[in-house]
Structure 1
């Protein structure tokens, strides 16, 4: 019985020692923090739109297999809102947005939110660029300007090396949803859709998303120029002045009375003895010059 009790005790102790304690184990921990939107340099833009002008800023949010960028261009109109190209890139498994084109109802809701007060008309004939067809709507803006809202679904964005059958089988098939909101006071309505013709999406792989994730926060901040303060100038004119007035130390707010005066001699002039008084001025040395100062 004694041997049986000792054996049972040892087995129970051995069993306790095999219980896993997560606080005593080590290993790599994957952070589960929400993705943050950040500014990056224009060089990291996922799309190019040459006819739209220079890029003002690029805002992006990178997730595991999902990227969203807002590429902002200058807005020369008085309308509120940004001229922006929005690009969303992800795997088809991330949602319906990466599996099919948007519906008409979704586009109408997006246009009302992006262009309030502008009468937009969806054009029946779609446009086309190097990535396929795209839909668009236009609206008049003032006497000669117009607004454009365009949308496009690109089924696959991949480098040329992955365009083969083997490359498509091995690499993830990233798709893209593109939106363009652009208003200009000088481009007529019949020509503004040409902006979308020049769209160029950059090839995207898993390594591209990793690079953009580490590029977050590298955007440049435009520092405001310091205000230029004009230096105070003093006009110096040599002329005969009997006496130069110097304000002595007095409490603020009192009348500007001349406390003491001192005679500033001109070349060749001899002062009287009573004019050679020593005047005490608050930390303001007299200039060493023969010219009289106002």
Structure 2
């Protein structure tokens, strides 16, 4: 029975409703024995999982919905903010939502973002929202920088998993579709996507992923002379990499560029000071930039 059960649960992606299990050929007494033996756990009334079920999928199912938003993005390997709450899609009229860690408790103070949009999900999204849906949810429910970072990362998925921009745009209100047109799969981090959004919104001229030499590629060249790099401790934290980065910057400056580096924390949580630095950097070469559409100033 366990081999038969394992095959069924594998086909159902390791989390299943009672009706799905019965339709697959499992008998009610087999289901009861599987729970008693520990082969299955009862996630909530009428929903079961085996040991191979992803933890966050189980938690979303226990709430009473589908893993969505940043939580689904993480499962798909998309970019996510450094910190985010469990996000779950439920039907608009869903009742009896439960705590993600305890089905005996109603959903109350738990850190869960509930999106009442599950009526838009397809049958393939019975447990986890697709990358296309995740992108749509990001645009609808996140700030524009986070949304653009999500879309950019979705465009870097393998061809069979990658959503189409037209599909994302078609599912958005007209007023939000502009953000889809700003997407760029060349972005290598969410920080880069967010900073690109700000540069474009300000009307600055810039290029992305620019080769300055045969071995040096930079994230942005702004106004033709200001090199802007998005850095992270994860990719630049070792002593060896630190020394390589310093040598690289020395070479870039030697080519006649001004160089600035910004972190995730700065771009997402200290943007006024980022802009202050950018303004000062630009003023090193230009006393005025008449084509800029938005004032470059400290924004409190």
Please state which band the TM-score falls in when normalised by the shorter chain: under 0.3
Larger strand proportion of the pair: 1
TM-score normalized by structure 2? 0.21
Larger helix proportion of the pair: 2
Decide which structure has the larger Cα Rg and report it.
1
Question: Which structure has the higher relative contact order (CA within 8 Å, separation 6+)?
Answer: 1
